[in-house]
Amino acid sequence: MIDVVVPTIGRPSLARLLASLARSRGPRPARIILVDDRRDRTEPLALGELDDDLTRRITVLAGRAAGPASARNAGWRVSRATWVAFVDDDVLVDETWLDDLHADLAGLPLDVAGSQGRVTVPLPEDRRATDWERNVAGLATSRWITADCAYRRADLLACGGFDERFPRAYREDADLGLRMVARGKRIVEGRRHVEHPVRPARWNVSVRLQAGNADDALMRALHGRDWRARAGAPRGAFRRHAATVAAALGALGAFALGKPRAGRALLAAWAAQTGGFAWRRIAPGPRTRAEIAAMLATSAAIPFAAVYHRLRGELGVRALLADRERAPKPLPPAVLFDRDGTLVVDVPYNGDPERVQPMPGASEALERLRAVGVATAVVSNQSGVALGLLTREAVDAVNARVDALLGPLGPVLVCTHAGGDGCGCRKPAPGLLVDAARALGVRVEDCVVIGDIGADVEAAQAAGARAILVPTERTRAEEVAAAPLVADDLRHAVSLVLDRTA
């Protein structure tokens, strides 16, 4: 199942995007989640004329007007689909995009966290492109660009989604990609295609874009000095801008100290650097009077804006790194629960649904997981079947009762073998856990296992998953001592999962 998430600030292009989705051939997404990130939402979003089927699939959420990273997080967190496809509100999907999206995602192995679409930027055919148009055209070669990128929801959970400390549509996609790759995941290229038209912009847009230099300071702090090479991001012209600003400031200082010869030399260096920068922007363009004037004015201002924002970013990095509220909060994609003694009171070899009694706090704990979209499953040893004390039908009836009392629990996997059968599924063997993770479409290594005895912990460790022990009166002292993490009760165990202290 696939959901589409679109962050929007209410631009007219949103209606054109939705119209292109309506025209596209292929299975429609389960939901189209529009995150309205406008500060002023007194007027409803203009969605255009859509058919009833597409309209029914649209959900509009109120964003926090905190930027696209925050808006995308709000969208994928309410999704319950396996895959979440992100597109921007200023693109157009092509006529086969839906078919191609499903083909791109079908059968991808679990080590693939994302699939990037192809982006093209239409440029004028009757003249040379302006500096702004060439800037937008760079999106066609950007890596991991969220103008069209789909991610497995389990992987978004596992890495915490987008980092909301990136307030602009800049670097938040590269940051997410680097964190995915650091977890051993791949992001592959798909065959689907979107078109990203160049929207109108003011003549000084290039100066305003220099605010992104503050985000580069955060990228270096988070990912190291080589982040550009790993993210496929071009180095840019910051070093030249810094040299230009240094020449200008040096000239002012020399004149102030009564050294006019040095001042004139440094001023000439500033002029040469600024003129060269302006020409590199003017030469490939249409060279109209308006374009030349804009390039001359902005080329003088850009170095100072770039250095100012980089310094602002460097000075603010420490506070951003300490900002846990907006930082990504990784969660496991799934929690695998033991049944007897963990979710329900342990009744030995119980085959009677009427004797099922939830453990204290079980409903509350499960609701907390559901609220944030963490999947669940049940993995239970039921050797009573092999011993002739139960039937498989009785086990299934008890499981159905547990599900009815505690809500949908996801896949329920049981091992009906006895202890000496030598199977690979009976805990402490990892088989049940591996199968449960496979049924959920996640890696077992990313899961958390919660149980009440040592066999649950040992099964988790054998599978490479994290384990939390919730002891009961039948838990042996040596099992408690050997457990990597012990919770007071089920509520506490889920708090450890969600607070990432496990």
Note whether 157 and 77 are within 8 A (CB). no
Give the other-Cβ count within 10 Å of 44's Cβ. 9
Name the β-bridge partners of 31. Answer: 3
Set 340, 435, 446, 456: catalytic member: 340
The reply to whether 340 belongs to the active site is yes
Name the β-bridge partners of 414. Answer: 380
Set 175, 338, 435, 452: catalytic member: 338
Q: Which amino acid is at 66?
A: A
**How far apart, in whole angstroms, are the C-alpha atoms of residue 460 and residue 463?**
5
Beta strand pairing status for 375-381 and 412-415? parallel
Name the β-bridge partners of 5. Answer: 33, 86
Name the β-bridge partners of 413. Answer: 379
Read off φ and ψ for residue 211, nearest 5 degrees. Answer: -60, -25
Dihedral angle at the C-alpha atoms of 291, 292, 297, 302, nearest 10 degrees?
Answer: 70
Beta strand pairing status for 58-62 and 112-120? unpaired
The reply to whether 352 belongs to the active site is no
Read off φ and ψ for residue 83, nearest 5 degrees. Answer: -120, 145
Burial of 401 per CB tally in 10 Å (0-12, 13-18, 19+): middle
Residue 467 Cα to chain centre, angstroms: 25
Burial of 28 per CB tally in 10 Å (0-12, 13-18, 19+): middle
**How far apart, in whole angstroms, are the C-alpha atoms of residue 482 and residue 475?**
12
Note whether 411 and 364 are within 8 A (CB). no
Give the helix ranges, DSSP H, for 110-198: 131-137, 153-159, 172-182
What is the phi-psi region of residue 118: left when phi exceeds 0, alpha when psi lies from -120 to 50, beta otherwise? Answer: beta
Catalytic (active-site) positions? 338, 340
